[in-house]
Amino acid sequence: MSAPAPALRLAGIEAFYGTAQALFGVDLDVPAGSVTVLLGRNGAGKSTTLKAAMGLVNVQAGRVFIGSRDVTGVPSYKVARAGLGYVPETRRVFAGLSVEENLVVGERAADAGVAVWTRERIFDLFPPLAGMRARLAGQLSGGEQQMLTIARTLMGNPRIVLLDEPSEGLAPVIVQQIAATIQTLAAEGLTVLLSEQNVRFAMHVASRAAVIERGRILVEGPIADIAADDSVREAYLTP
Amino acid sequence: MSFIVVQAITGLASAASLFLIAVGLSIVFGVTRVVNFAHGSLYMLGAYLAFSFVAAFGESFLGYLAAILLAAIVVGGVGAVMETSLLRRIYRAPELFQLLATFGVVLVVQDLTRLIWGADDLFAPRMPGLDGAIQFLGHAVPQYDLFLIAVAFVVLGALWLLFRHTRFGVLVRAATEDREMVAALGIDQRWLFTGAFILGAALAGLGGALQIPRQAASLSMDLNIIVDAFVVVVVGGMGSIMGAFVAAVLISELLAFGVVIFPEITLVLIFMVMAVTLVLKPSGLFGRPEFTMAEDRRNPDPPLRAGDGLSRIFWWFLLVAGVAAPLVIGDFAVVVLTEIAILALFAASLHFLLWGGGLITFGHAAYFGLGAYGSGLAVFHLSLGMAPALLLAPLAGAAGALLFGWFCVRLSGIYMAMLTLAFAQMAWSAAFQWVGFTGGDNGILGVWPSAWASDPVVFYYLAFVVCAAVIWGLRHTVFSPFGYTLRATRDSALRAAAIGVDVTRHRWLAFTLAGAAAGVAGGFFAFAKGSVFPDVLFVSTSVDGLVMVLLGGLQSLAGPILGAIVFTEIETELTRLTDLWQLFLGLLIIVLVVVLPHGLVGLSALVRRRSS
């Protein structure tokens, strides 16, 4: 019996910023329905890996598969339509648009067999947003903006969600809310790949982990094993 | 008091059409980040099309209105063709290339319009039903002016509805903020770009069509309006609709009252508003600051070596050919050769700024022209001889560059391009309007070389020696410590500043040096032609220089020289054969930008690489 194809597979990705190489052959499988965390230090290549999956950086070698579909070199709007949702690191809400308008931008009809998100369900998931539909996104707090970016991506009804350092720069109570949100998404059947530096947060939400250092994946496996491995922790995860 | 109100209404009517064109330019820029020089051409096209439609079915008020709307729709269609066939190919190109390519469209459209409608101004009938005037406080106010003002408010309202209450509008606003994020959310930007461009083009067409009852359709409307529209967009803030509206009113009222108070310097006044805005609040009244931040160049050129064997042979060959040529060629050819030497210096000084400093200038004609006027005016007003007049040329160029440069080097990218253009147009309008001093349109005549240099061959040698020496000086500067520092500021202003380089001062000095060198060229140009006309300061002179640099290739010091030679030869030959020089030049520019961005030098390198 062969294992089912992973929801997202990166194979031998080499990515560049201008002439500077950032990824040196990243291999990563994200099993369907899992919450996988990409751990690593600043500059290790976490964000670039997510951007490479999304088609937002210059990928010179390697392949990206969503399910069995090869999306290497495909424009990012098509990658998004293939079911990949992207929540960027710096949140990047459309500051001059209202909360509701931000959701309108993300809105897209669902494929068959995917959890369908409506604005009402979004506001159930993020009650604080419901009360500020008409407010400009630029006027929201950091935590509210983080909710809005996740909400905006969910409006596209993705099958896989990429979250780039969702806990960064947020107050502990907000971080807990984000963790709860990720667990809700997993319960809905979504596949999640997030990048993190915060190992405690990662252990709380993820079932699998991969450690990236200098543009290469070092280890990959159940998060408990990786977090328990002192040598990995010492060498690659302490800031 | 009543006079002031009436004058204000006149200003508002002008503001209405200025708003229509500027808001389209602003929307297109916001989404695509391309400053579309050809936006004025779309406006002109709207006017000509409306003229023809009015002639066909414009006898009644409704027929006239239909003619105007149809013209706007057709221009929107032209915009669709332009976006999908040209702009789409240059969205990732450097700003300079985008500006040049769209200027190429300006030239093409101008010649095509002349072919279709002729060179004469076309006067349309007034709009039936709105051809009278109403009495207001004892003054007559044209009904059509009030109609225009009403149209502007209707368009403003319609745009507000579009951008607030339709998905298309929300997406356009989102794309104006963060295009990459919009794509990551699954939106195909191509149709968004095309849609925004069609909207902008139709608005420009509408603005032009609405103009015909007030002013004749003419071939100069495109460049006249586009420069004003640039000013409005910069003052109001790139990408902002409200900004375009407020700035259009501000500029038009300034013009309406300026004409009464300072008739001689109204045009200068406008550009001063722009310059002051850019220095105090670079993003404009309603603009978003991030547009003004320049990105560091992500793919710097390979380091330049002080000349391998091949380029050394090229320079020696040029020198020998330049010295020997008059011995074997005829009189006319010597005149052409003189012009080549002068324009090679002009192009080299521009190349020094563009390539050496990474400073995007679209107004280098200013310093060339100041040199020419410096010499010309010295001969005309002070009766100076050729030698002292020529010595004044670099001083005039440098003084202008010192003054204008102070403002320009504080900006970067597209903003710098527009401010340099604005200053050049300011110099042009001063030369044009200040008839008492500069002779205005009639120019300065009788700027002939002294007796000892009156033989074309002698004058050629003089021009050749001086121009070659200045070009050598510029080349030397590129390899001096100053040149290295300058190129460091070009590759990364941030990093250069971090190691203690005063970026602004280096750029300012480079700007001034290039201005002085262009001034030398301008001085010789005046004596070579025997006259100076405002044309030397006009944007087309700047573009000629840019084409030479681009034609030769931006990445090589030999490029501008080669470009000047080829450009002058083609121009001399073609203008003898056909009157469609502009059409050809426009197509040449578009081909250069889209197909051959590295110019002739790049082509030869490509061929060398292929063959080896």
Q: What does the DSSP assignment read for B10-59?
A: HHHHHHHHHHHHHHHHHHHHHHH----TTHHHHHHHHHHHHHHHHHHH-S
Which residues in chain A have Cβ-Cβ distances shorter than 8 Å to B187? Answer: 77, 105
Predicted pLDDT at B422: 86
Residue A164 inside a domain? The answer is: yes
Q: What would the two tokens of residue B11 be?
A: 């200003």
Residues B67 and B164 in one domain: yes
Residues B258 and B320 in one domain: no
Q: Which of A77, A99, A161, A163 to mutate to test the interface with B (most CBs of B within 10 A)?
A: A77
Of residues A115 and B399, the one with the higher pLDDT is B399
**What are A149-202's pLDDT values in tens digits?**
999 999 999 999 999 999 888 888 889 999 999 999 999 889 999 999 888 888
Least confident of B77-91, B172-186, B291-305, B557-571: B291-305
Does residue B299 register a pLDDT over 60?
no
The CATH number of the domain holding residue A54 is 3.40.50.300
* Domain span holding position A42: 8-237
Residues B63 and B96 in one domain: yes
Q: Which residue of A has its CA nearest to B176?
A: A94
Residues from B in contact with A at Cβ < 8 Å: 167, 170-171, 173-174, 177-178, 180-189, 288, 298-299
Does residue B517 register a pLDDT over 90?
yes
Of residues B418 and B247, the one with the higher pLDDT is B247
Does residue B457 register a pLDDT over 70?
yes
Count interface pairs A-B at CB distance under 8 A.
Answer: 64
CB contact under 8 A, B178 and A106: no
Can you tell me the mean pLDDT for B420-426? 89
Q: Which amino acid is at B558?
A: A
Of residues B205 and B492, the one with the higher pLDDT is B205
- Which one, of B360, B299, B306, lies nearest residue B492 by Cα? B299
Q: What is the DSSP string of A184-225?
A: HHHHTT-EEEEEES-HHHHHHH-SEEEEEETTEEEEEEEHHH
Domain final residue pick, B538, B558, B592:
B538
Residue A189 inside a domain? The answer is: yes
Which residues in chain B have Cβ-Cβ distances shorter than 8 Å to A136? Answer: none
Which residues in chain A have Cβ-Cβ distances shorter than 8 Å to B189? Answer: 77
pLDDT winner (highest mean) among A143-147, B64-68, B124-128, B452-456: B64-68
CB contact under 8 A, A106 and B184: no
CB contact under 8 A, B184 and A76: yes
Q: B187 vs chain A: nearest CA distance in angstroms?
A: 5
Q: Which residue of A has its CA nearest to B164?
A: A101
Q: Which residue of A has its CA nearest to B175?
A: A94
Predicted pLDDT at B63: 94
Q: Which of A76, A104, A133, A136 to mutate to test the interface with B (most CBs of B within 10 A)?
A: A76
Does residue B184 register a pLDDT over 70?
yes
Q: Which residue of A has its CA nearest to B171?
A: A105
* Domain span holding position B406: 310-538
As a whole number of angstroms, the distance between CA B425 and CA B141 comes to 32
CB contact under 8 A, A75 and B183: yes
Predicted pLDDT at B571: 87
Residues B314 and B278 in one domain: no
As a whole number of angstroms, the distance between CA B348 and CA B342 comes to 10
Q: Does A191 touch chain B (CB under 8 A)?
A: no
Q: How many domains does chain B fold into?
A: 2
Which residues in chain A have Cβ-Cβ distances shorter than 8 Å to B167? Answer: 104
Burial class (CB in 10 A: 0-12, 13-18, 19+), B574: middle
Can you tell me the mean pLDDT for B511-521? 96
Predicted pLDDT at A63: 93
As a whole number of angstroms, the distance between CA B521 and CA A213 comes to 57
Residues B138 and B91 in one domain: yes
**What is the model's pTM?**
0.87
Q: A81 vs chain B: nearest CA distance in angstroms?
A: 5
The CATH number of the domain holding residue B99 is 1.10.3470
Domain final residue pick, B512, B538, B564:
B538
Predicted pLDDT at B542: 93
pLDDT winner (highest mean) among B420-424, B445-449, B508-512, B583-587: B508-512
pLDDT bracket for residue B338 (50, 70, 90)? very high
**Strands annotated E in chain A:** 8-17, 20-30, 35-39, 58-66, 69-70, 84-87, 160-164, 191-196, 208-213, 216-222
Q: Strand A58-66 relative to strand A216-222: parallel, antiparallel, unpaired?
A: unpaired
Backbone angles phi and psi of A206, in degrees to 5: -100, 155
Residue percentage of chain A with pLDDT more than 90: 55
Predicted pLDDT at B297: 46
CB contact under 8 A, A77 and B187: yes
| Closest Cβ opposite residue A86 in set B171, B178, B184 | B184
Q: With beta carbons less than 8 A apart as the criterion, state whether A147 and A133 touch.
A: no
**What are B59-100's pLDDT values in tens digits?**
899 999 999 999 999 999 999 999 999 998 888 888 888 888
pLDDT bracket for residue B552 (50, 70, 90)? confident
CB contact under 8 A, B183 and A156: no
Total residues belonging to chain B: 612
pLDDT bracket for residue B298 (50, 70, 90)? very low
Residue B569 inside a domain? The answer is: no
Residues B317 and B194 in one domain: no
C-alpha distances in Å from residue B13, one per residue of B125, B258, B412:
18, 16, 34
Residues B250 and B353 in one domain: no
Q: Strand A58-66 relative to strand A69-70: parallel, antiparallel, unpaired?
A: antiparallel
For B25-46, give one letter per residue: b (16+ CB within 10 A) or e.
bbbbbbbbbbbbbbbbbbbbbb
How many Cβ atoms sit within 10 Å of the Cβ of residue B160? 13
CA B122, B127, B132: angle at the middle one, nearest 5?
115
Does residue B452 register a pLDDT over 80?
yes
**What are A94-106's pLDDT values in tens digits?**
998 999 999 999 9
| Residue where the block lists tokens 């030479």 | B548
Can you tell me the mean pLDDT for B236-241? 87
Residue B521 inside a domain? The answer is: yes
| Closest Cβ opposite residue A56 in set B174, B177, B184 | B184
Which residues in chain A have Cβ-Cβ distances shorter than 8 Å to B178? Answer: 92, 94
Contacts of A172 (CB under 8 A, 6+ apart): none
CB contact under 8 A, A88 and B184: yes
Residue A88 inside a domain? The answer is: yes
As a whole number of angstroms, the distance between CA B330 and CA A156 comes to 73
Q: With beta carbons less than 8 A apart as the criterion, state whether A84 and A139 touch.
A: no
Domain final residue pick, B538, B561, B589:
B538
Q: Which residue of B has its CA nearest to A151?
A: B185
Residues B510 and B412 in one domain: yes
CB contact under 8 A, B184 and A80: yes
Residues B167 and B264 in one domain: yes
Q: With beta carbons less than 8 A apart as the criterion, state whether B8 and B250 touch.
A: no
Of residues A122 and B602, the one with the higher pLDDT is A122
CB contact under 8 A, A96 and B178: no
Q: How many domains does chain A fold into?
A: 1
Q: A93 vs chain B: nearest CA distance in angstroms?
A: 9
Task: Quote the ipTM score.
Answer: 0.91
Q: Does A42 touch chain B (CB under 8 A)?
A: no
Beta bridge partners of B446: none
CB contact under 8 A, A75 and B173: no
Residues B286 and B316 in one domain: no
Q: With beta carbons less than 8 A apart as the criterion, state whether B247 and B235 touch.
A: yes
Which residues in chain B have Cβ-Cβ distances shorter than 8 Å to A96? Answer: 173, 177, 288
Residues B200 and B267 in one domain: yes
Residues B362 and B248 in one domain: no
CB contact under 8 A, A81 and B182: no
Q: Which residue of B has its CA nearest to A107?
A: B185
Q: Does A90 touch chain B (CB under 8 A)?
A: no
Does residue B296 register a pLDDT over 80?
no
Total residues belonging to chain A: 239
Q: What is the mean pLDDT of chain B?
A: 88
**What are B1-29's pLDDT values in tens digits?**
678 888 888 899 999 989 999 999 999 98
As a whole number of angstroms, the distance between CA B302 and CA A193 comes to 39
